Amino acid sequence: MNAVELDSVIHRYGKVKALDGLSLSVRQGEMFGFLGRNGAGKTTTLKMLIGLLRPDKGQITVLGRSVKRMPASLKQRIGYVCQEPNFYPWMTADQLGAFVGSFYPTWDAPEFQRLLRILDVPRDRRASEMSGGTRTKLGLALALAPRPELLLLDEPTAGLDPVARREFNDQLQVLQREQGTTVMFSSHLVGEVEQLAQRVGIVQSGRCRFEGEVGALRSQVRRIVADAGSEPGDGFTQLRGDIWQAEPALWEARAWPPGAAVQLLSLEDIFLAFARTDSVPA
Amino acid sequence: MRALLCKEWREHRWVLLAVVLLLALAQAVALNGAGTMGSPMVAYQKVVVLMAPLISLVFANRLVVREYMGRTQLFLETLPVSRSQVLAVKWLLGMAVLLLAMAACLGATLLVARGQVLLTPHYVALVAIRSASFVFLCYALAFMVGLTGRYRVVVWPLLLLCLVAADTTGQLPVAKWAPLYLVQESMVYERGGLPLQAVSITCAIAAALVAATFALALSAEGSLVVALSRRMRPRELSAVTIGFMTVLMAISVLEARKPKPPFELAHAVRSTDGPPVAVGFAGSPGVARALANALSSDLARMQAFLALRDPPALTALPDDALDGDAFQRAALPNADGVVVRAAFTSSAFDDEGFRAYALASWMGWHSRGRAAEEDRRWLLDGAAQWLVARDLPQQQEKLALRAAFAARLLQDRPASARRLLHEWLSVREQLGPCLADALAWRMVAALAQDMGQPRFQALARSVLGGRPSGDARDALFAPDFARLLAHSGAPDQASLTRRFHALFAAEQIRLAPILERIALPQAGFDAQRMSGKNFEVRYRLGPATGEVPPFAVLYVALGPWDAEIPPEALARIDSTRAGVLPTSFARGTRLFTAVERREALLGCSVRLAARRWEVR
């Protein structure tokens, strides 16, 4: 069973279409990276999964339940960390733990204390006195302490320096392994996604352009350096310039123009090829 | 729910308690002053009216605006709790604290009112239900407006403005509207039964506001309120400010153009024919009737002379506190017409002087103050006297004597004499109203004689007879006095001044035997330091020691912009010897001081040593 399934989801902000028929699925127990440029629809998608927004059209299933109105019982099984957590500035980490914990029957207070220790979050400091990175780590602790089945992270490392980012990601990996939680995190940092995610989804202009394992992605998209006018045949889709997408079997069959050179690409190059494509294929 | 309630309480408890303490303080102050209000229950009513809206505003601001503007509601929404639950907890907490605080106020009032007011359970329930309904509405409104985020700073002034405009400009019975009717002072005295209709309407409005509050908070997944709670952009702020100023100006213009009801005096004698005149009853009705008819006759003559239309009603009120030759005009903020005051029953009452004063006040009203502008004021003062005295040779002789004496006083002030027509208000201030009016009469009478009746009438009509529309643009394009003089064929102001001084000199020679019999004692003021920067001001008339005939000392501390000093602004001390003003003054205070002495030969008060000066 998939932890998350989105089927042809559409959502508008006034006249702006944020999601334009987005479909993807996240498997249980995996760490899923959600890649896309700013404004691609990542945050909107995650807000829908936690129940902050409702789709105008389409179907969303979270942990086996179709979500039209997010019931509190389902929300209790989901952890959510946003880009800039808006904690009450006057509350300390302990007070926040006590407050948030009262909403979750599965809240594990010792685990919360352990997480604070591991993540190096001071217990008795007010949120207003914490740095952005510490607040994000506190958000992670608050999200993990109820032992959620699904953890949604919306660009959690966006405001962190490289050291803090690496630290955060390491801890996330460890905790995910320990708890077996399904993690779906959004990012526009390709390296981070490559390091953490088992599978990725690339979203552009509100639609999913690719969903699959990182290895599969790299085996599908390559650069073909050929003479002008010579193009590969059927089955190849041009993403941008000389970057083409095709099924691995076609690449293995070497079905590209004679005399052309084929180069493997980094995930970043592939992401840029997707992200910079101006027109979205139907 | 409990966790939310605890969180709200922990976050806001100090502010809630501080506001409740403020309420207790207000209640204590009100109860302390209950003696002057008539009943401790009135004190409670005042506290409900003043404090319920204020506290509602503070609570709503604290519970709603702070949460949304601080964007902490985004954190709350990620927790497994619904928006409606969050809102309900906030609403109920604020309402409960507010109602408890008001109930405590009522309890304290009832304790104090024991023995003074008949307190039956029925009466207490009536007061409690009425005030609770009002509190419910105030809080519901404040909570709803709180959700409008940055626009609450627009909504509140607009609501207040609408209420004031409905009350003043629209003349709507705002005080009788259900919510306000509930907490009127009558709440304290009505024991018959509950005003069910008013309570129902108030509660229905409050319930509608609560429903609207939840609808707004839950619509579009709460994103509407989130959008509203963003901080105002400079462009928005400018638009709001301009919009607000426009509304304010529109209301001011409407208010200025709104016809006011005429001033009505209940117990008055009215003129039998001619323009409407009412004279307040003082002593014999015969005196009042004679005065009313004389004033009406004067007004009719002036109306015909100046070709005036739609004259306002003139009302004369008796005021025994005034001297016989002192007259005042009453300000009428909420009514139309001209109201003047004088001591009708005083043996020294100057009947003709008062009639001329009434005419001048009437013309001032008609010209919307234009005729009273400094460059033409002498014409207004003089024309009023001239119209009254036209067929009264004795009055003319009296005025001529006063004018000659005034001219003699002016000789000591050559600067003022030179600019007689341009600085008429200064001349008037130095001479006092009685002598200044006589001097103005002398000038107008001479001008009328020189110009001939038809041309003088044309001049008077162009200067005094017009009624401007009240539009500021009229003032911009109105011809100045010099042009009006030239247009009607009158000499220019310099020629007039020369002509008048020649006349004054001739009159002083003609009346010299009488004028020489009028003594001019030395009068003066000086400031002496008391301590530090404080000064006392000494006055004297005649010798420094010993008694002199009675005189009055007039004084007033001037503000930076004071132009003409209204007679009622002057403080007065009656004395028969030199003395000290009963007030000390700081160094640098600007004062106007004068001594007035009644002169029997002139039949009016003579003002001496009148000047503006600085204490140092």
* Contacting residues for B585 by C-beta, under 8 A, at least 6 apart: B527, B534, B535, B536, B537, B557, B591, B615
Closest CA to B406 of B371, B437, B364: B437
Q: What is the reported pLDDT for B472?
A: 66
Indicate whether B278 and B230 sit together in one domain.
no
Ranges A150-154, B99-103, B159-163, B448-452: which has the least confidence? B159-163
Give the percent of chain A with pLDDT over 70.
96
Indicate whether B570 and B507 sit together in one domain.
no
Report the residue from B11, B73, B81 with minimal CB separation from A72.
B81
Residue at a domain's end among B517, B552, B585 = B517
Give the percent of chain B with pLDDT over 70.
96
Greater confidence (B374 vs A227) lies with B374
| B35: confidence class by pLDDT, cuts 50, 70, 90 | low
- Minimum Cα–Cα distance from B82: chain A residue: A72
**CATH assignment at residue B597:** 2.60.40
Instruction: Answer yes or no: do B79 and A100 touch at CB < 8 A.
Output: yes
Partners of residue A26 on adjacent β-strands: A4
Chain A closest-CA separation from residue B71 CA (Å)? 6
Q: Tell me the C-alpha distance between A100 and A136, whole Å.
A: 15
Average pLDDT, whole number, for chain B?
A: 87
Report the residue from B7, B71, B77 with minimal CB separation from A99.
B7
Structure tokens at A19: 């999601």
Indicate whether B172 and B288 sit together in one domain.
no
Chain B closest-CA separation from residue A53 CA (Å)? 6
Q: Is the pLDDT of residue A282 over 50?
A: no
Indicate whether B319 and B450 sit together in one domain.
no
| B119: confidence class by pLDDT, cuts 50, 70, 90 | confident
Indicate whether B317 and B419 sit together in one domain.
no
Report the residue from A53, A73, A103 with minimal CB separation from B79.
A103
Instruction: Answer yes or no: do B74 and A86 touch at CB < 8 A.
Output: yes
Chain A closest-CA separation from residue B220 CA (Å)? 8
Phi-psi region of B171 (alpha: psi -120 to 50; beta: other; left: phi over 0): left
Closest CA to B582 of B569, B591, B573: B573
Q: Is the pLDDT of residue A281 over 50?
A: no
Q: What is the reported pLDDT for B34?
A: 65
**Does B593 map to a domain?**
yes
Q: Within 10 Å of residue B533's Cβ, how many Cβ atoms? A: 14
**Does B373 map to a domain?**
no
Report the residue from B6, B82, B221 with minimal CB separation from A53.
B221
Residue-wise pLDDT for A103-129, tens only, equals 999 999 998 998 888 888 898 899 999
Instruction: Answer yes or no: do A103 and B3 touch at CB < 8 A.
Output: yes
Chains A, B: CB pairs < 8 Å:
44
Block residue for tokens 């592939």: A270
Q: Are A22 and A208 in contact (CB under 8 A)?
A: yes
- Minimum Cα–Cα distance from A56: chain B residue: B220
Instruction: Answer yes or no: do B78 and A52 touch at CB < 8 A.
Output: yes
Report the residue from B3, B6, B221 with minimal CB separation from A52.
B221
**Does B425 map to a domain?**
yes
Residue-wise pLDDT for B49-97, tens only, equals 989 999 999 999 889 888 888 888 888 888 888 888 899 999 999 999 9
Per CB-CB distance under 8 Å, the chain A contacts of B223 are 53
Q: How far out from the chain centre does Cα B416 lie?
A: 32
Indicate whether B303 and B433 sit together in one domain.
no
Report the residue from B11, B80, B82 with minimal CB separation from A76.
B80
Instruction: Answer yes or no: do B78 and A50 touch at CB < 8 A.
Output: yes
Ranges A229-233, B25-29, B240-244: which has the least confidence? A229-233
Q: Is the pLDDT of residue B479 over 80?
A: yes
Instruction: Answer yes or no: do A86 and B72 touch at CB < 8 A.
Output: yes
Chain B closest-CA separation from residue A85 CA (Å)? 7
Q: What is the DSSP string of B455-504?
A: HHHHHHIIIII----S-HHHHHHSPPHHHHHHHTT---HHHHHHHHHHHH
Indicate whether B16 and B108 sit together in one domain.
yes
Q: What ipTM was predicted for this assembly?
A: 0.84
**Does B280 map to a domain?**
yes
Long-range contacts of A172-176 (CB under 8 A, 24+ apart): A172/A140, A172/A196, A173/A31, A175/A115, A175/A118, A175/A140, A175/A144, A176/A31, A176/A151
Q: What is the reported pLDDT for B267?
A: 80
- Minimum Cα–Cα distance from B71: chain A residue: A86
Instruction: Answer yes or no: do A102 and B3 touch at CB < 8 A.
Output: yes
Per CB-CB distance under 8 Å, the chain B contacts of A73 are 80
Residue-wise pLDDT for B417-429, tens only, equals 777 888 899 999 9
Structure tokens at B101: 């605080």
Indicate whether B411 and B434 sit together in one domain.
yes
**Does B175 map to a domain?**
yes
Report the residue from B71, B81, B221 with minimal CB separation from A103.
B81
Number of domains in chain B: 4
Q: Are B349 and B411 in contact (CB under 8 A)?
A: no
Closest CA to B614 of B540, B560, B544: B560
Per CB-CB distance under 8 Å, the chain A contacts of B78 are 50, 52, 80, 82
Q: What's the whole-model pTM score?
A: 0.61
For an interface test with A, give the residue of B75, B77, B90 to mutate (most A CBs within 10 A): B75
Domains defined for chain A, CATH in brackets: 28-51+68-210 (3.40.50.300), 212-275 (no CATH)
Q: Tell me the C-alpha distance between B146 and B229, whole Å.
A: 9
**Does B360 map to a domain?**
yes
Q: Tell me the C-alpha distance between A160 and A151, whole Å.
A: 19
Report chain B residues touching chain A, CB-CB < 8 A. Answer: 2-3, 6-7, 11, 70-75, 77-82, 221, 223
Mean pLDDT in residue range A198-224: 86
Q: Tell me the C-alpha distance between B321 and B567, whole Å.
A: 13
Q: Of the segments A72-81, A208-217, B418-427, which one has the largest average pLDDT value?
A: A72-81
| B470: confidence class by pLDDT, cuts 50, 70, 90 | low
Instruction: Answer yes or no: do A85 and B75 touch at CB < 8 A.
Output: yes
Per CB-CB distance under 8 Å, the chain B contacts of A11 are none
Indicate whether B362 and B385 sit together in one domain.
no
Ranges B87-96, B243-252, B568-577: which has the least confidence? B243-252
Indicate whether B434 and B556 sit together in one domain.
no
Ranges B119-128, B145-154, B161-170, B226-235: which has the least confidence? B161-170
Q: Tell me the C-alpha distance between A150 and A147, whole Å.
A: 9
Greater confidence (B35 vs B524) lies with B524
Residue-wise pLDDT for A133-177, tens only, equals 888 889 988 998 998 999 999 988 877 778 777 878 887 888 788
* Contacting residues for B221 by C-beta, under 8 A, at least 6 apart: A52, A53, A54
Indicate whether B111 and B193 sit together in one domain.
yes
**Residue B234 corresponds to which amino acid?**
P
Q: Is the pLDDT of residue B38 over 70?
A: no
Per CB-CB distance under 8 Å, the chain B contacts of A72 are 80-82
Q: Tell me the C-alpha distance between B20 and B104, whole Å.
A: 10
Report chain A residues touching chain B, CB-CB < 8 A. Answer: 50, 52-54, 72-73, 75-76, 80, 82, 85-90, 99-100, 102-104
Chain A closest-CA separation from residue B142 CA (Å)? 23
Ranges A28-32, A88-92, B27-31: which has the least confidence? B27-31
Q: Which domain holds residue B140?
A: 2-257
- Minimum Cα–Cα distance from A77: chain B residue: B80
Ranges A24-28, A143-147, B366-370: which has the least confidence? B366-370
Instruction: Answer yes or no: do A103 and B80 touch at CB < 8 A.
Output: yes
Q: How far is CA A281 from CA A210, A237, A274, in A?
A: 12, 10, 11
**Does B376 map to a domain?**
no
Chain A closest-CA separation from residue B562 CA (Å)? 54
Q: What is the reported pLDDT for B460?
A: 92
Residue at a domain's end among B227, B257, B287 = B257
Per CB-CB distance under 8 Å, the chain A contacts of B77 are 52
Q: How far is CA B481 from CA A250, B374, B462, in A?
A: 102, 10, 10
* Contacting residues for B92 by C-beta, under 8 A, at least 6 apart: none
Instruction: Answer yes or no: do B221 and A88 touch at CB < 8 A.
Output: no
Instruction: Answer yes or no: do A102 and B78 touch at CB < 8 A.
Output: no
Residue at a domain's end among B366, B399, B430 = B366
Report the residue from B11, B77, B82 with minimal CB separation from A90.
B11
| A179: confidence class by pLDDT, cuts 50, 70, 90 | confident
Per CB-CB distance under 8 Å, the chain A contacts of B80 are 72-73, 75-76, 103-104
Instruction: Answer yes or no: do B77 and A52 touch at CB < 8 A.
Output: yes
Q: Tell me the C-alpha distance between A99 and A92, whole Å.
A: 10
Q: What is the reported pLDDT for B360?
A: 92
For an interface test with B, give the residue of A16, A46, A88 to mutate (most B CBs within 10 A): A88
Closest CA to B45 of B113, B95, B97, B96: B113
Closest CA to A203 of A55, A43, A1: A43
Instruction: Answer yes or no: do B80 and A86 touch at CB < 8 A.
Output: no
Secondary structure (3-state) at A10: strand
Indicate whether B476 and B605 sit together in one domain.
no
Q: Tell me the C-alpha distance between A211 and B541, whole Å.
A: 107
Chain B closest-CA separation from residue A73 CA (Å)? 7
Closest CA to B594 of B604, B602, B606: B606
For an interface test with B, give the residue of A69, A75, A140 to mutate (most B CBs within 10 A): A75
**Does B331 map to a domain?**
yes
Q: What is the reported pLDDT for B358?
A: 92
Mean pLDDT in residue range A63-92: 87
Q: Tell me the C-alpha distance between A151 and A115, whole Å.
A: 15
Instruction: Answer yes or no: do B72 and A87 touch at CB < 8 A.
Output: yes
Q: Of the segments B127-131, B287-291, B419-423, which one has the largest average pLDDT value?
A: B127-131
Structure tokens at B521: 């004692």
Per CB-CB distance under 8 Å, the chain A contacts of B221 are 52-54
* Contacting residues for A142 by C-beta, under 8 A, at least 6 apart: A79, A96, A97, A100, A112
Closest CA to B603 of B366, B420, B405: B405
Q: Tell me the C-alpha distance between A126 and A199, whole Å.
A: 37
Per CB-CB distance under 8 Å, the chain B contacts of A90 are 11
Q: Is the pLDDT of residue A280 over 80?
A: no
